[in-house]
Structure 1
């Protein structure tokens, strides 16, 4: 037997274990921040190859470029410099062209690298289309604590519609750290801010940031493979991290707090770190998430007060049938809730009709302050799973206001006669609710 066979078997085993991640990531949108330091690192060509591989696997990529060391070098060559405050650079008019020159050089370098088609590399035969433009709208940071930041700015908005069109056409989108105003001005933005706002406004599935370190370490020098957002915030308060890692971790926390499911820190020094982080169970860096922090669980009696506060506005509008405290307490075992930082932000109930093998989905509600992050879908999936565990075959619901939401999730309109007889006798003709059902 050839000596290479064990190594080949290891590769086959790795590939088999990575296939679930490949399937899970296909069609998803990742925002990846490549700081200027990464562009100058030894493994930069490998980073480019890894990006090409992600693109070939059907992952939609939005790249954000930084250029801090390149800007520092251009300014130094011109015998000038500007102070940095929390990594915001004061950008006077006299230095704006230097900033644009450095940023443009990095952008061209990235586009050139992504256009290579080297044989015997992941770029062999690749046909990557990279688009860049004025998709970041900026505004001036202004005067902060008496300091005029000049042409330093902050993100006003991201042109998500234009970016989505490019992604749908199989383009990779490259966003510089420069923002443009409707009045034709150019602003020097913090690259972490661009990446964060791009991830949030695009509703990206991941924000990935390359840093000088592998991620975040504990006091014993051990790498955190995963951090909850609240724990990451506690680490940030210590101000014990390197500035680049501090900026990156702040960006990750802000993104997951605003609906991005996962954020990752990985090292640009590690060859293949991006692939290890995405396609292996162990990963290669630090992942920040909020799933455990926001818990989907069965309701208990202590939740009744929070549930009443959640349901009251919807009952006032007539979207839900009024439920008394006594009724909620008596039926608490029918409910599941999403709890966030001790508060009930969403709930739903399942009422089984065992003889007909059917279940009613009722009282699905999400707090207005927490909509837009798939909490309704999480509740629906939770109810569907509970119904299957009870061997129910059909899930039905009555609604007056949210028909289209349920239609988009596989429900079809049906008739009163299709409901269990007990439910038919309780139907409120005055509410005139529409009836929908779904086979499980």
Structure 2
């Protein structure tokens, strides 16, 4: 149990380092509050806050507005999924937003011993941070006091976040003439993420994990691929709506947008601090990148290879050597965290190259990433004009044999590499023709 805890804590450390000081916009619908999961979400957001993440919370209120309208015996009216906000509906939206604001503030005021909120002392600031304008008349339908976000008061929000407080935004906006407008939670969330240059926008939703027309789980998708998914018209309306807003945020400049189900306990933490997550991540470009390394990657490479140096699988290199040889390395990263690497050392006289340090994080081994890196290094060697690729290994020969390498002798290595061969390690030599 203790070993598992230590292993898990070490595995999330790269994410903690990457996220500290970043701004996250966390948005959820009124259904989450109605389902009774607000206290648990408050625990998880308070943990993000404790890790140095700046959090802006955006809440929805649709079921609460419906309840208020029912109490007044007023029927809800919609046009293309958008509420027509007449004066009575606007009053209900105000009442619902006020009640939800108090519930959210109360949830973050918990501080009982032996709970995740102990010693948290979190402060939530809300206000007239959203400027809105009316949607107006669409297809002859007057949407009345239904509005859209025109501006987010980012210059007022940044100092609040910098001081260590959370910011709460409700689905209401205000005009310079003093009018209030009912706006969509998703509109507020996307607008806030873009205005604040947020690192992530997270929708915690009432829908299960999104699936495509064939029933395949949609785990990672680019904003361009979202358009193709929407064209199939096979998605549930709620899933299609969230994907549209997620893609809009990414196209506008938000690096990552996540859509996670609140039905899963700890869904936000699982999505953010595990490699595969449990929801759908939308990016402008592919989130998984395989590229040549830079000096900024030295720390991530060291973290990967140090355990293998400690158990003798790899020869110890040290930071200074990695820094000098960084041009030979390629890295694979996921959401900004390096989880795979390899190095390619050239021997141009013999038109050969050595691949070394092929490592994939143990947490994600078995998913084909090692083979992807190998293929990348082979392509890189071909592009440099080499005819063959060789490796020296003490423990992974069979993995390379299954991928086209064959056993060879030390005499078949380039002359300079023969002179550096460590006869104490007695590494096996394998070569592959390119």
Structure 1: segments with no counterpart, 5+ residues: 1-6, 299-440
> For 1:158-237, what aligned pairs fall within 5 Å after superposition?
158-237=152-231
Given that residues 138 and 153 in structure 1 are in contact (C-alpha distance below 8 angstroms), is that contact kept between their aligned partners in structure 2?
yes
- 1:221 deviates by 3.0
Q: How many residues align structurally? A: 293
- 1:10 deviates by 1.6
Select 2:241's aligned residue among 243, 247, 254: 247
Matched, 1:261 2:255: yes
Q: Once superposed, what is the RMSD of the aligned Cα atoms?
A: 2.1
Poorly superposed stretches of 4+, deviation over 4 Å? 293-298
Aligned to 2:13: 19
Given that residues 127 and 169 in structure 2 are in contact (C-alpha distance below 8 angstroms), is that contact kept between their aligned partners in structure 1?
yes
SS at match of 1:156: strand
Structure 2: segments with no counterpart, 5+ residues: 293-434
SS at match of 2:76: coil
Select 2:144's aligned residue among 150, 159, 163: 150
> For 1:370-381, what aligned pairs fall within 5 Å after superposition?
none
- What's the CA shift string for 1:265-309, capped at 9, x where partnerless? 0001110110010011121101001223999999xxxxxxxxxxx
- 1:86 deviates by 3.7
- 1:217 deviates by 1.2
- What's the CA shift string for 1:86-136, capped at 9, x where partnerless? 432101123321111012111111111011112222101111010000000
In 2, Cα distance between the equivalents of 1:19 and 1:86?
A: 45
In 2, Cα distance between the equivalents of 1:252 and 1:119?
A: 38
In 2, Cα distance between the equivalents of 1:130 and 1:70?
A: 21
SS at match of 2:25: strand
> For 1:57-206, what aligned pairs fall within 5 Å after superposition?
57-206=51-200
TM-score, normalised via structure 1 length: 0.64
SS at match of 1:174: strand
- What's the CA shift string for 1:341-400, capped at 9, x where partnerless? xxxxxxxxxxxxxxxxxxxxxxxxxxxxxxxxxxxxxxxxxxxxxxxxxxxxxxxxxxxx
- What's the CA shift string for 1:31-66, capped at 9, x where partnerless? 111110111224332111000000000000001110
In 2, Cα distance between the equivalents of 1:143 and 1:11?
A: 57
> For 1:397-412, what aligned pairs fall within 5 Å after superposition?
none
Aligned to 2:277: 283
In 2, Cα distance between the equivalents of 1:45 and 1:202?
A: 26
TM-score, normalised via structure 2 length: 0.65
In 2, Cα distance between the equivalents of 1:45 and 1:8?
A: 28
Q: 1:59 to 1:220 in 2, by over 3 A?
A: same
In 2, Cα distance between the equivalents of 1:120 and 1:218?
A: 42
- 1:238 deviates by 3.0
